[in-house]
Amino acid sequence: VSIVVRVNGRSVGDGPAISALDHGFLYGYGLFETMRALGGRPFLLDRHLRRLAEGADTIGLPLPAPEAFGDEVGAALTESGLDDAYVRLTVTRGVGAPGPDPSTCSRPTVVVIVKPFPRPPRRWSTEGLRAVFSDIARSDSSLLTGVKCANYLECILAKERARELGADEAIFLGTDGDLAEATAWNLFFVEAGRLCTPGAWGPILPGITRAKVIELADSLRLAWEEGAYPPERLFAADEALLTNSLYGVVPLGAVDGRPVGHTVPGPVTQALDAAYQALLEMHRRGDL
C-alpha cells in the first residue's frame, strides 16, 4: 500500500471522502499535525496531541477525546504495514451549512493520512538546505501564526517561490524584520558555542522538534537562548540548522545564495542530530 487515508474511522483511499460542506474545506477551519512514525508508532504523539489541543482552544474547535486520535493513527499505520512512515492527522470543524456560522457544524471530521517516509535528498546532510528569505512577512498580529491550521497557503506559496529560485526552503522574517522560521521548520544558529533560536513569543509555530532539540541541548550541556535576531546574525553564525517533525535536525547551508556557517554540517548540528537520531532509534525499538 502506498498511501492510507482514513476519514472518521473508515478507510477511504484517495477517492471522495469529504463533504464539500465541510467547513475545513470551505473556510480552512481545521488543524493538523505531521509526524514521523517508526516501528509502526508515531514519534512524540502525546506532544503533537497536546499542541493540537492548544490550537483547538485558540480557534474554538471542539475535539474528540485524545484516545480516539491515538486509535485512528494506530489503525492507519497497521493498515499501511509501514514501519517508517509520514503521518498527518487532520481535524476540521465538520459538515455544516454553507456560510460563516460554524455552530451549524455537527461533529468534527478526523482524517489520518499515512504514506512511506519521504527520504530527504542526501545533499541536505552534506551541503545543508538552501533557503531564500521570503518576501512574505510572518504577521505578529495574527492569532493563527502560532497555530498549525489548514490556513496554510502562505507557507505553500513561499515554498513554491523558493523552488522557483532553485532553493529548498523559504525563511520568513517577522513584520518587525527579525528572523522567524522557515515554512515548515524552526530555525537555530550557533554563535560562539551558544545555540540561538527565535523566541516562541514571536511569530513562529512552536515546533515539537524545536522543543525536543532545546531539551537535547540541555542534555548535551550546550548553552542556548531564545531571542529576537536580525537576519544578519545568521550570516555571522558559526553554523545554522533547521528542525521539523518529519526530518529532525538538518543543517542550513545557504540563504539567498550566501553561505551560512563555517562548516556544514557544523559540530553542534552534528551533535544534536546524533542525539535526535538516538531518540528515534530508541523509539523504533520501543525503548522510549
CB 158 within 8 A of CB 183: yes
Distance CA 272, CA 236 (A): 20
Smaller CB separation from its own copies, 139 or 270 = 139
Rg (CA), the chain: 19
Site membership for its own copies, residue 288 (CB under 8 A)? no
Interaction pattern, residues 167-206, with its own copies; x per rule: CB under 8 A = --------x-------xx----------------------
C-alpha cell at 265: 554540517
Q: Strand 179-182 vs strand 169-173: parallel, antiparallel, or unpaired?
A: antiparallel
CB of 106 to its own copies, least distance (A): 11
Contacts of its own copies in 215-234 (CB under 8 A): none
Applying CB under 8 A, does 284 fall inside the site for its own copies? no
Q: Using the rule CB under 8 A, which residue among 42, 102, 146, 261 binds its own copies?
A: 102
Instruction: Select from 65, 67, 122, 153 the one that contacts its own copies (CB under 8 A).
Output: 153
Rounded least distance, CB 47 to its own copies, Å: 21
DSSP assignment of 48-102 equals HHHHHHHHHHHHT-----HHHHHHHHHHHHHHHT-SEEEEEEEEE--B--SSS-G
- Which H helix or E strand runs over 191? strand 186-191
| Cα distance between residue 135 and residue 107, in whole Å | 38
For residues 102 and 261, which CB has a smaller minimum distance to its own copies in the complex? 102
- By beta-carbon proximity to its own copies, the closer residue of 53 and 137 is 137
State the minimum distance, in angstroms, from the CB of residue 103 to its own copies: 8
Residue 239 sits at φ, ψ, to 5 deg, of: -165, 165
Question: Quick one: which of 63, 75, 136, 222 contacts its own copies (CB under 8 A)?
Answer: 136
Nearest to 220 by CA among 278, 179, 159: 278
Contacts of its own copies in 5-24 (CB under 8 A): 5, 7, 12, 14-24
Which region among 41-49, 149-157, 186-194, 257-265 touches its own copies (by CB under 8 A)?
A: 149-157
Instruction: Report phi then psi at 62, rounded to 5.
Output: -70, 135
Treating both helix axes as pointing N-terminal to C-terminal, what angle do 45-59 and 208-219 enclose, rounded to 10 degrees? 130
Taking residues 61 to 100 in sequence order and writing x for each that binds its own copies by CB under 8 A, - otherwise, the string is -------------------------x-x-x----x-xxxx
Q: By C-beta, is 152 or 224 nearer to its own copies?
A: 152
Check residue 26 for interaction with its own copies (CB under 8 A).
yes
Q: Which residues contact 214 (CB under 8 A, 6 or more apart)?
A: 195, 197, 224
Residues within the interface to its own copies (CB under 8 A): 3, 5, 7, 12, 14-29, 32, 59-60, 86, 88, 90, 95, 97-102, 111, 113, 115, 118, 136-137, 139, 141-144, 149-157, 159-160, 175, 183-184
